Amino acid sequence: MDKNKEAEPKAVTTKAPTVDGVNKPGVETGPGTRTSAEEVAREQFNMVADYIGLGDDLRKYLLVPQRELCVNFPVKMDDGAMRIFTGFRVHHNTAKGPTKGGIRYHPDVTLDECRALAMWMTWKCALMNLPYGGAKGGVIIDPDDLSRDELERMTRRYAAEISLLIGPERDIPAPDVGTNAQIMAWIMDTYSMHRGYSIPAVITGKPVAVGGTVGREYATGLGVTYITRAILRQRMGRALEDVTVAVQGFGNVGSWTARAMHERGARVVAVSDRSGGVYNGGGLDLRQLLRHVAETKTVTGFANADSLTNAELLELPVDVLVPAAMEGQITRENAGRVRAKILAEGANGPTTPEADCILEDKGVLVIPDILCNAGGVVVSYFEWVQGLQSCLLDENEVRRQMERKLLDNLDVVMGICAQRECTMRMAAYVTAVERVVEAIHVRGFYP
């Protein structure tokens, strides 16, 4: 894997999705239906709460974030003008420890979306047995609209504003849509400058040069691959070498998933980004495609492939479909047309509850986000521990420990699926919510 990639600002590609049949995040495209990510997260939680018979008090407690911060702050633009930006940081729950969750730069960021993503992080961290609660933050901005200097000034000011909430023992952010290792380095530096010494453990997903860990950049995509490979083997008796794959989104998660699956023999036939997608039934040449993306910042226009829309990609007759872009992509409107056998959720919240039911009826196996894409937060945890203890893990150790943590918790989920005859999403959520509830009970209610 290319370790140097982490230090470079990646091509952030986050314009409002208005082209190419792409769904806006959290929006049902069916007639008259609009479902926000927050509504999806709450509905999923309510279904689990009903399933396990959770009492009303705990249900009310866990349905809302513990704390949320909205910040409006000024930044000097290159032309001397001042622009006001709006950002957020939300902590869903701290019962299991300090909070953990990404920072998103995207024009569609809302407080509601941050609440949903923070809640999903609580469940994901609990499912992985990490000593964290869930958090999320973001700024309403298309980072492509800013120069590098403006992006740095905006990031540093946002970091200063949310330093009320973040800290190595309080809340540890990481990259998400539209942010990258360079942005994490600016946040780490800003936080450290205010305190007068370097505090690498305040953030994860940093460049290795400033205390990041080897293996973090590709961890989410590699984790999606490990989990999908294990499920293919266990549930279908198939190997990655025998399957076709389509990936929606070609940023951090999507591109590394495509790469990791391709390197292990899978035939990646289609990929897309917000501008559209490319398809080659014989398999895309990933090496050439990555070169094309490095030059043009998009997968579209790649030679040796046909073009297709994001909507068409989701409906391809492939073995494995990996949504790795935004929330709300598989809805009640298009779920009936999904022809994949496995839906491996690289993104957070790509499938609405209504779509889940349709997919279950069709026999599509959904690997839920809080399990499927957890490799990123697992390796972020390793990075945090290395930062706190000033120790270093080597790359093999990071991969080995990540794989073990993912597969151990996959076993727990599969055990619950078999025992309770439920979907993988329900089994993953039951495990996660019960672990959080246990932590709440053991700690007791203050005062």
Annotated catalytic sites, by residue? Answer: 136
Measure the CA–CA gap between 347 and 341, rounded to whole angstroms.
18
Residue 306 φ/ψ, nearest 5 degrees: -90, 155
Using the contact rule CB under 6 A, the part of the chain among 29-37, 57-65, 84-92, 249-257 near ligand NAD is 249-257
**Toward ligand NAD, which CB reaches closer, 49 or 208?**
208
Q: Which of 93, 155, 204, 220 binds ligand NAD (CB under 6 A)?
A: 220
Instruction: Return the residue of 176, 189, 319, 333 that touches ligand NAD, per CB under 6 A.
Output: 176
Q: Using the minimum distance from each CB to ligand NAD, give the nearer residue, 104 or 341.
A: 104
Q: Does 95 bind ligand NAD (CB under 6 A)?
A: no
H, E, C per residue of the chain: CCHHHHHCCCCCCCCCCCCCCCCCCCCCCCCCCCCCHHHHHHHHHHHHHHHHCCCHHHHHHHHCCCEEEEEEEEEECCCCCEEEEEEEEEEEECCCCCEEEEEEEECCCCHHHHHHHHHHHHHHHHHCCCCCEEEEEEEECCHHHCCHHHHHHHHHHHHHHHCCCCECCCEEEEECCCCCHHHHHHHHHHHHHHHCCCCHHHCCCCCHHHCCCCCCCCHHHHHHHHHHHHHHHHHHCCCHHHCEEEEECCCHHHHHHHHHHHHCCCEEEEEEECCEEEECCCCCCHHHHHHHHHHHCCCCCCCCCEEECHHHHHCCCCCEEEECCCCCCECCCCHHHCCCCEEECCCCCCECHHHHHHHHHHCCEEECHHHHCCHHHHHHHHHHHHHHHCCCCCHHHHHHHHHHHHHHHHHHHHHHHHHHCCCHHHHHHHHHHHHHHHHHHHHCCCC
Q: Which of residues 324-363 bind ligand NAD (CB under 6 A)?
A: 324-326, 346-348
Q: In angstroms, what is the minimal distance from the CB of 179 to ligand NAD?
A: 7
- Least Å distance, CB 270 to ligand NAD, is 12
* Termini Cα distance of the chain: 50
Q: Does 68 bind ligand NAD (CB under 6 A)?
A: no
Q: Please identify which residue in 215, 249, 368, 387 interacts with ligand NAD, judged by CB under 6 A.
A: 249
Residue 253 is a binding residue for ligand NAD (CB under 6 A): yes
Residue with Cβ nearer ligand NAD (327 or 437): 327
Question: Judged by CB under 6 A, which stretch of 61-69, 146-154, 185-193, 245-253 contacts ligand NAD?
Answer: 245-253
Please count the other Cβ atoms lying within 10 Å of the Cβ belonging to residue 76.
14
CB nearer to ligand NAD: give 266 or 370: 370
Instruction: Report if residue 222 touches ligand NAD, rule: CB under 6 A.
Output: no
Tell which one of 26, 207, 215, 376 touches ligand NAD (CB under 6 A). Answer: 376
Contact 256, 262 (CB under 8 A): no
CB of 263 to ligand NAD, least distance (A): 18
State in angstroms the smallest separation of the CB of 205 from ligand NAD.
7
Determine the interface stretch with ligand NAD among 68-76, 86-94, 248-256, 392-400 (rule: CB under 6 A). 248-256
CB of 357 to ligand NAD, least distance (A): 22
Closest distance to ligand NAD from the beta carbon of 249 (Å): 3
Residue nearest ligand NAD by beta-carbon distance: 251
Which of 26, 178, 207, 212 is in the footprint of ligand NAD by CB under 6 A? 178
Cβ 53 to ligand NAD, closest distance in Å? Answer: 30
CB crowding 36-65: b at 16 or more within 10 Å, else e: bbbbbbbebbeebbeeeebeeeeeebbeeb
User: Cα separation of 228 and 220, whole Å?
Assistant: 12
Scan residues 312-331 and list those touching ligand NAD (CB under 6 A).
Answer: 324-326
Angle at 116 between CA 229 and CA 7, to 5 degrees: 60
The smaller minimum CB distance to ligand NAD, of residues 181 and 413, is found at: 181
Nearer to ligand NAD, 18 or 390 (CB): 18
Stretch that binds ligand NAD, among 9-17, 27-35, 392-400, 405-413 (CB under 6 A): 9-17
Nearer to ligand NAD, 188 or 437 (CB): 188
Binding of ligand NAD by 252 (CB under 6 A): yes
Using CB under 6 A, pick the residue from 92, 274, 332, 425 that binds ligand NAD: 274
How many of the chain's residues bind ligand NAD (CB under 6 A)?
29
Contacts with ligand NAD by CB under 6 A lie at 12-14, 17, 22, 175-178, 220, 248-254, 272-274, 310, 324-326, 346-348, 373, 376
